[in-house]
Structure 1
C-alpha cells in the first residue's frame, strides 16, 4: 500500500499551530510563464492526491478523493466544493506518531463499479486491520473483511470490486530492519519523521531510499502474492516468490487481470508483470535487451488494456513513454527530450493528451531545466521501411509547460493525473510549504483579471520564503 510513503508525520503532529497560523495560498491564479490557470483544489494544509496510478474518481467522473490530516475527503469537480467523508478517529494528544498513524484511516483506491472509496483501518472491536468502503455520494460506511493474519495491507481492488490484492511475508523476516529507514520485510517503508518546510507533505520519499532498495532486493525475503475476496474474506495465493513484489494494480476493465512489479533498483530487475487472479499466465511485459536498460512507474491506461511505462533503453540517456496492449500485443514508444522527462506520466481516456510532473536535476534524467508540470501532445511517426508486429511503433511528444515548479521540492512527487473530462491536470505540490492538491487547466486562460497573472515561483516564495534545498538524489 506504500503506506508510509503517504505520510509526513513530523509536520502533521508536531506543528499544527504553525500550519494554522500561515495564511492560505490563493485559490486561483494564471501562471505568467505558461498562460495556464491554476486552481488550489484542497483547503487543508498537508492534503494530498492519490499516487498517480491509483484511481481517485467515481465511475461517473463527478467526484474525486483526496486525503488530509483529518481523514478522507471528497472533491466535487464541477463546483470545487469539498467535504470530509471519513474522519480519522480522535487521538490521545500524548500518543506517539506511530500509534496515531495506526489508528487512522488509510485510503486505497476508488472503485470502478460503484462510487466507493476502499480504505483500511484498525477495527476497534477485534483490533485487526480491516477493509471498509465508503459511498462517496451518501457517506454510508460498509465494513468488509479483516486482512489475513500477517498482511500489512492490500494495495488494489479489481474492476468489479470483488477482490483485493496484497503481499505478505512467507515465513519469518530475514532481518529485523533494512537500513535506517526501517523498511518492512514486504518492502513497505515504515513511518519516517519527515522534515518541515519544502519537504513536507504526503507521498514524501524517505532519506536513503536508494540504499534501502539495494538492501531489500538483496535480502531475498520470501513473499506471498495473494488476492482477498471482499465478500467472504477468503485468501487465495497467486504465487510464492523471493523477488520483492510491489506496485500491485488491477486492470480498470478486466477483473481477472493484475499487474505487479519486481521492485528494486530498476537496472537490476525485470520489473513489469501481469498475472491472472487464478494464478495463471504469469507474464513478463518488458524484457530488457540492453545493459543498464530501465523500465518502470507502470500504469494502466483507462481502457484497462494498455500498460504504459517509463522506458529508458540506456538509463539516463534516452527517454520514452512506452505502451503494451495486452490484447493486441502492439507496442508504442513516444520519445521525449531530457528536460521533458517526468517522474510520473498519465494519459486521457482517448489518448489525445499525456501529462508529466517533471523532475529536478537530482533525478535519473539529470535535467537542467525539467521542473514543470507538462502537457504532451502525441504524434505518431510515419513508418517507411521494415516493420514487424512486435516492433515498437515510434512516436514523439510535443511538450507544453503548464506550471513552473521551480519552487516545488521533488522529495514530494507531484503524481499527476487528468480530470475525467481532461480539462485539468491534477497534482500535489509543496511549493507553498505545506502540500495542497492543485489543478491546472489544459487550455490557455482567456479570462484572466488584472492581478491574476503571476509568476508561480515568486508567488510561492511569499508563502514559503525559506530557500529550497538542493536537488533530491535519484533513486532508480
Structure 2
C-alpha cells in the first residue's frame, strides 16, 4: 500500500484528521443488489424506528466530535461523493451546498481510485459547521499547484467566501468558536516529493474519513516511531498569519477547539494508546499546555476525547487496564472534578456522545475485533447515566466520582462493517441518534428515534440485519482490530 515510511507518514497523518476529507469514491449503486434501501423501518430487536436520512450512496456524517449543526440548530451538514450537503432537520429536505468539481472519466475498470486519481486534490473537504454563522468551513486544493485554500460557505445562500491559503504541507482540522482561527500541524522539514498515499477503502469499496485501513495498527506504530519534528499552529482566517503553539517530535493529531472558548484548543498525542499520554489542551497564546489524564497503571488507556456541548467538560474513553474495564470519563475544566461512568464489555463503544444537559448518552458499539472484544457489542446504544451516592465514603477532589450506565439498544448493527466507524451524535432536540452505516453496502447517514416506536405499520417491524442482508448479501467482516 505504501512504498516506504517516508510516504507512509504524511499519508497517515492526513488520513486520520477527523472529518477533514469528505468521502470520495467511484460512483456507487444504491445498494449491492442495485435496489434502493427503504426510508424507514422499526428494528424488531429494539422497538425503535430507524430512518435513512440521505439518498446519496457513499454519503457520510462528520466525525463524532466535530460540530455538524448550524448555530440555528435547523441544519445538519454532511458529505457525499458530489460535495458538501445540508439537511433540514424539520422538513427532511437535503441540498448541495458546495459541489465537487467534475470527476475524471473512468478508465477500463471504471474506478478512478484504482487508476491512481487522488481525490484530495480538487475535491472539497469539509472541516466543521460554524458556531457563529450558518456556514460550513472547508478546504480545497488546486489540482495544478496543490495549494490548499480555506473557504466558508453559507449553508442557505451557498455564497462562498475565500478565507486564506495554507502554507505547503499544512492542513487545518478545526475552527475556533468565534470563527477567527483555524488550527493545524506542519512537518518542520517538508519534502515536496512526498507521495500522499492511497485512499483508505473498506471492503465495500468506500473511502473517506470514517473508514479504518486494514493495517491501521501497523501504520500507527510506524508513525509513532518515526519521531518527525512538527509544529502545531493556529492560522488567522482573514490574513493567513501563522502563530506557533508547540514544537514536538510526538505525533500531534485530533485537534478540536472548544465549542465555547475561542482561545482553547484540545489535541492529542497520537499513536497506540498504551504508549502515549494522549489528551492535552493548550491556549491560543501558547500557554497552559496541560495533560488532561495522567496514566497511573501500565496498559491504562484514555482517548477518543470530545468536548461537552457547553465547553465545560472534556469526555473520553477510559480503560484503567486496556480491554478489561470500561468507563466514559469526564474532566471539569473549572473545578478539576472527574467523573467516571462504568459500563459492561458489551456496552463499550468506539465513540460516545451526549446531550447538553447530560441526561442521556449514546455509543456506536463495536465488533469483536475492537479493543473490548465484545461478543455482543454491535449495537447503537442509548445510555442512561446514574451517579452513585458517596456520602460517608473516603473522598477527595482528585478522586473520580463514580457512576454507571444503564444501556438501551437502539439499532442492531450486526450487518454493519465496523471498518467504517458509525460516529454517533444526537440531533439538537435529542429525538434522534444519527450515525453513518454501510449495512446496505454503500454508506448512508441513518438516524434512530430515541423513543420507542408507537406507530408501527404492517410490514415495518423487521430485524435490521435481516433487512440489510436483502440489499447487501455479503456478511460483514468483524475480525480486524483498531489499534489503541
Instruction: Tell me, yes or no, whether TM beats 0.5.
Output: yes
Unaligned stretches of 5+ residues in structure 2: 1-11, 107-111
Q: 1:187 aligns to what? A: none
Q: 1:472 aligns to what? A: 480
In 2, distance between residues paired with 1:58 and 1:97? 35
Q: 2:454 aligns to what? A: 446
Q: 2:442 aligns to what? A: 434
For the residue of structure 1 that corresponds to 2:335, the secondary structure is coil
Residues 428-465 of structure 1, C-alpha deviations (whole Å, 9 max, x = no match): 00000000000100000111111111110100000000
Task: State whether structure 2 residue 179 is matched by structure 1 residue 161.
Answer: yes
- The correspondence for 1:107, drawn from 118, 126, 136, is 126
In 2, distance between residues paired with 1:434 and 1:411? 13
In 2, distance between residues paired with 1:108 and 1:65? 10
Unaligned stretches of 5+ residues in structure 1: 185-189
- The correspondence for 1:331, drawn from 328, 338, 357, is 338
Q: 1:461 aligns to what? A: 469
- The correspondence for 1:80, drawn from 92, 99, 102, is 92
Counterparts of residues 230-309 of structure 1 (less than 5 Å): 230-309=237-316
Q: 2:77 aligns to what? A: 65
In 1, distance between residues paired with 2:343 and 2:227? 35
In 2, distance between residues paired with 1:362 and 1:39? 27
Q: Note if contact 1:46-1:202 (Cα within 8 Å) is conserved in structure 2.
A: no
Task: State whether structure 2 residue 423 is matched by structure 1 residue 404.
Answer: no
Task: State whether structure 2 residue 140 is matched by structure 1 residue 121.
Answer: yes
Task: State whether structure 2 residue 320 is matched by structure 1 residue 313.
Answer: yes
Task: State whether structure 2 residue 391 is matched by structure 1 residue 421.
Answer: no
Q: 2:8 aligns to what? A: none
Q: 1:4 aligns to what? A: 15
In 2, distance between residues paired with 1:201 and 1:219? 24
Residues 142-194 of structure 1, C-alpha deviations (whole Å, 9 max, x = no match): 0000012331x100000000000000001246x998xxxx7x6xxxxx43352
Question: 1:468 and 1:21, CA in 2 relative to 1: closer, same or farther beyond 3 A?
Answer: closer
Question: 1:396 and 1:21, CA in 2 relative to 1: closer, same or farther beyond 3 A?
Answer: closer
For the residue of structure 1 that corresponds to 2:282, the secondary structure is strand
1:45 CA displacement? 0.3
Of the structure 1 ranges 96-105 and 163-172, higher mean CA displacement relative to structure 2 is found in 96-105
In 1, distance between residues paired with 2:357 and 2:54? 27
**TM-score with structure 2 length normalisation?**
0.91
In 1, distance between residues paired with 2:201 and 2:23? 5
Question: 1:287 and 1:143, CA in 2 relative to 1: closer, same or farther beyond 3 A?
Answer: same
Q: 2:3 aligns to what? A: none
Q: Note if contact 1:46-1:201 (Cα within 8 Å) is conserved in structure 2.
A: no
Q: Note if contact 2:23-2:80 (Cα within 8 Å) is conserved in structure 1.
A: no
In 2, distance between residues paired with 1:237 and 1:199? 36
Question: 1:430 and 1:191, CA in 2 relative to 1: closer, same or farther beyond 3 A?
Answer: same
1:401 CA displacement? 0.2
In 2, distance between residues paired with 1:337 and 1:392? 18
Give every structure 1 segment of 4 or more consecutive aligned residues whose post-TM-superposition deviation is greater than 4 Å.
5-9, 17-21, 94-97, 123-127, 198-202
1:394 CA displacement? 0.4
In 1, distance between residues paired with 2:116 and 2:231? 29
In 2, distance between residues paired with 1:148 and 1:327? 36
Task: State whether structure 2 residue 63 is matched by structure 1 residue 51.
Answer: yes
Counterparts of residues 180-259 of structure 1 (less than 5 Å): 190-192=197-199, 194-197=201-204, 203-259=210-266
1:198 CA displacement? 7.9
1:17 CA displacement? 5.8
1:122 CA displacement? 2.0
Question: 1:213 and 1:430, CA in 2 relative to 1: closer, same or farther beyond 3 A?
Answer: same
Q: 2:7 aligns to what? A: none
1:100 CA displacement? 3.5
For the residue of structure 2 that corresponds to 1:101, the secondary structure is coil
In 2, distance between residues paired with 1:202 and 1:405? 20
Q: Note if contact 2:199-2:207 (Cα within 8 Å) is conserved in structure 1.
A: no
In 1, distance between residues paired with 2:168 and 2:190? 13
In 2, distance between residues paired with 1:146 and 1:201? 23
1:115 CA displacement? 0.7
Of the structure 1 ranges 113-122 and 85-94, higher mean CA displacement relative to structure 2 is found in 85-94
Backbone CA RMSD of aligned residues: 2.1
Question: 1:297 and 1:213, CA in 2 relative to 1: closer, same or farther beyond 3 A?
Answer: same
In 2, distance between residues paired with 1:386 and 1:41? 49
In 2, distance between residues paired with 1:271 and 1:251? 17
- Give the number of equivalent residue pairs: 461
Task: State whether structure 2 residue 347 is matched by structure 1 residue 340.
Answer: yes
1:125 CA displacement? 9.0
1:24 CA displacement? 1.2
